């Protein structure tokens, strides 16, 4: 069902109670199209111990390499993390990076058929080299010319076939050539004719191709470049922004202002949206992509620009506290709306881990994974978890569900239910994330998450460690940690029951 055109907000603030009651799970029923400049972000991690004899430069001994989606791909990443279904239209080369970009899309559950391969261009790829956790250099490989007519024709044909199933269109412009002026104009025209919100993250100083969009989302610096002077140099900056909105025939103009929040310009004036709470900002990279994704879904679902912008502002306030480009998880937004709860932040679904771990790897974090029942947590469990955590930077514990424990351990187990066991694990300082799983899922989980290290206690022979071959196949390590004083939970339970 298509959404009505968003209505103009009044000049009052969106009430916190109204936001808190929004059912964010409704995002799962939405299908969004992202059209724009998709990039591959690569990270090379290593250490420096010597200077090259060839030149006065450091020699980086590479230890591992990671990758993730950048540019418009990060918008798609955010949308999927929020539960939406995503289609893409993008321009890539006929090269290996395009193949890697397709792999990343498949990992997110996005059909790679939305990529047009042009043999005359290079897939945009940004490679960052880190040595001893410090960035040494960034290498950019890209083609910055407008896409060929064949791409524009193909994109419009694919757009036409997708329109009936869409709820919102996002144009993510990074100035790499995918969004030609003719493609932008025609996409906006067709999307609006279909009754869809069209959200644009603009680039450059010529905004005329975005004429007729529902909303564009420049930051303050970008809009000042378009206007030709700082906003505070105008006697009435809101009036000037309203003139820009009217000139471009937009429903709304949303100016993001960092720590100051946002300003939503509409036909009747302006709505100031202050940041929800003061925060320590670690990294603003990717925050604009998060704003666009949340704003688009909010418009598509509720048709209220003020509510959508307030949600986007809240989401941006969360992602800037993370290091590196990271998507916003729906559970993070829900937690923010109902109040910050530390334990609930550590309890995460397997799907959310699929978004979280790539982000952690882009920070150079080494992920340790272990799994078990952890029924009647005892000192032996604690020592094993402490030893596991020492193997890397992040410890993820996968907890067997009640059904899984009963199947493995037999009738009467577990003694403690899965929800309580999760909360007990999350309360431990050494555990960074705890998730629930079924033991039969382990091979699939390891293939999808690819943790750097899988740990198991020495009471299990290495040959019998479930998932060992999978981890070793993708280059991970299996570490058997010594268990010096094994404790049998089954024996403890029998003692409690008086059966021994």
* Least confident residue range of 169-178, 229-238, 411-420, 459-468: 459-468
Task: Tell me: do 362 and 404 sit in the same domain.
Answer: yes
Q: What pLDDT, on the 0 to 100 scale, is given for residue 376?
A: 80
| 339 within a domain of the structure (yes/no) | no
Answer whether residue 2 is part of any domain.
Answer: no
Domain boundary among 261, 293, 328: 328
Is beta strand 269-273 parallel, antiparallel or unpaired with respect to 31-36?
unpaired
Partners of 475 in the β-ladder:
none
Q: Is residue 107 part of a domain?
A: yes
pTM value is: 0.82
**Residue 466 pLDDT class (50, 70, 90 cuts):** confident
Q: Using pLDDT thresholds of 50, 70 and 90, give the confidence band for residue 493.
A: low
Mean pLDDT of 24-36: 96
> Could you tell me if 319 and 359 lie in one domain?
no
Same domain, 309 and 359: no
Judged by average pLDDT, the poorest of 160-164, 229-233, 281-285, 394-398 is 281-285
How many C-beta neighbours within 10 Å does residue 313 have?
A: 24
308 and 359 in a common domain: no
Report pLDDT for 10: 44
Using the 3D structure, point to which of 328, 361, 378 is the last residue of a domain. Answer: 328
**170 pLDDT more than 80:** yes
- CA 494 vs. chain centroid, Å, equals 46
Last residue of a domain, one of 328, 359, 383: 328
pLDDT value at position 282?
45
User: What does the pLDDT average to over 26-38?
Assistant: 97
**For residues 372 and 112, what is the distance between their CA atoms, to the nearest angstrom?**
36
Q: What is the reported pLDDT for 11?
A: 43
Whether residues 324 and 383 share a domain: the answer is no
- pLDDT band for 328, please (50, 70, 90 cuts): confident
> For residue 52, what pLDDT band results from cuts at 50, 70 and 90?
very high
Residue 234, domain CATH: 3.40.1190.20
Looking at the fold, whether 324 and 358 belong to one and the same domain comes out as no
Would you say residue 338 lies in a domain? Answer: no
Q: What is the mean pLDDT of residues 182-209?
A: 97
Same domain, yes or no, for 411 and 307?
no
428: domain CATH number is 3.40.50.620
List the catalytic residues. 289
Residues 306 and 448 placed together within one structural domain of the fold: no
- Work out whether the CA dihedral 292, 297, 299, 302 comes out positive or negative: negative
Distance separating alpha carbons of residues 159 and 162, to the nearest angstrom: 5
Length in residues, the chain: 500
> What average pLDDT score do residues 319-324 get?
66
Q: Say yes or no: 202 and 322 in one domain.
A: yes
User: Is 468 domain-assigned?
Assistant: yes
Categorize the per-residue pLDDT at 146 as very low, low, confident or very high, splitting at 50, 70 and 90: very high
Domain membership of residue 436 (yes or no) is yes
Residues 357, 324 share a domain: no
Find the domain containing 420 and state its range: 350-497
Domain assignment of residue 267, yes or no: yes
The token pair that represents 284 in the structure block:
């603003």
Count of the separate structural domains present in the chain = 2
- Do 318 and 200 share a structural domain? yes
Give yes or no for residue 319 having a pLDDT over 90.
no
Whether 366 and 294 map to the same domain: the answer is no
Q: Is residue 219 part of a domain?
A: yes
Sorted by sequence, the CB contacts under 8 Å of residue 51 that are 6+ apart come out as: 57, 58, 59
Predicted local distance difference test score (pLDDT) of residue 486: 62
């Amino acid at each position: 069902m298509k959404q009505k055109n968003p209505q103009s907000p009044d000049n009052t603030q969106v009430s916190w109670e109204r936001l808190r009651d929004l059912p964010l799970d409704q995002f799962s029923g939405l299908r969004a199209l992202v059209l724009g400049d998709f990039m591959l972000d690569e990270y090379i991690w290593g250490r420096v111990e010597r200077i090259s004899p060839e030149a006065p430069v450091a020699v980086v001994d590479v230890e591992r390499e990671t990758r993730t989606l950048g540019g418009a791909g990060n918008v798609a990443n955010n949308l999927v993390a929020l539960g939406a279904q995503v289609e893409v239209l993008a321009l890539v080369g006929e090269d290996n990076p395009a193949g890697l970009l397709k792999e990343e899309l498949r990992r997110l559950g996005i059909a790679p058929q939305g990529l047009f391969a042009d043999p005359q261009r290079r897939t945009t790829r940004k490679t960052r080299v880190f040595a001893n956790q410090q960035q040494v250099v960034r290498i950019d490989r890209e083609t910055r010319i407008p896409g060929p007519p064949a791409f524009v024709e193909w994109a419009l044909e694919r757009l036409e076939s997708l329109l009936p199933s869409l709820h919102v269109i996002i144009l993510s412009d990074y100035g790499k050539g995918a969004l030609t002026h003719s493609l932008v104009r025609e996409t906006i025209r067709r999307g609006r004719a279909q009754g869809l919100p069209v959200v644009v993250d603009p680039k450059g100083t010529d905004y005329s191709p975005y004429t007729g969009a529902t909303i564009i989302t420049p930051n303050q610096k970008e809009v000042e470049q378009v206007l030709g002077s700082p906003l505070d140099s105008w006697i009435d900056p809101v009036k000037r922004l309203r003139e820009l909105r009217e000139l471009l025939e937009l429903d709304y103009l949303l100016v993001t202002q960092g720590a100051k929040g946002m300003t939503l310009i509409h036909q009747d004036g302006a709505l100031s949206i202050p940041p929800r709470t003061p925060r320590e900002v670690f990294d603003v990279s990717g925050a604009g992509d998060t704003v666009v994704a949340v704003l688009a879904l909010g418009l598509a679902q509720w048709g209220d620009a003020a509510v959508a912008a307030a949600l986007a502002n809240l989401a941006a306030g969360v992602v800037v506290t993370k290091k590196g480009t990271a998507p916003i998880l729906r559970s993070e937004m829900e937690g923010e709306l109902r109040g910050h709860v530390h334990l609930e932040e550590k309890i995460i679904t397997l799907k959310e881990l699929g978004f979280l771990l790539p982000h952690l790897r882009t920070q150079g974090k080494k992920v340790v994974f272990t799994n078990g029942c952890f029924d009647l947590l005892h000192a032996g469990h604690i020592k094993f978890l402490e030893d596991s955590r020492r193997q890397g930077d992040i410890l993820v514990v996968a907890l067997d569900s009640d059904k899984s424990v009963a199947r493995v351990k037999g009738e009467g187990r577990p003694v403690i239910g899965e929800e309580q066991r999760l909360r007990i694990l999350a309360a431990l300082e050494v555990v960074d994330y705890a998730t629930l799983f079924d033991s039969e899922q382990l091979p699939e989980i390891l293939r999808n998450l690819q943790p750097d290290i899988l740990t198991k206690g020495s009471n299990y022979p290495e040959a019998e460690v479930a998932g060992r071959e999978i981890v070793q196949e993708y280059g991970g390590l299996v570490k058997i940690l010594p268990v010096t004083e094994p404790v049998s939970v089954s024996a403890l339970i029998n003692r409690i029951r008086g059966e021994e």
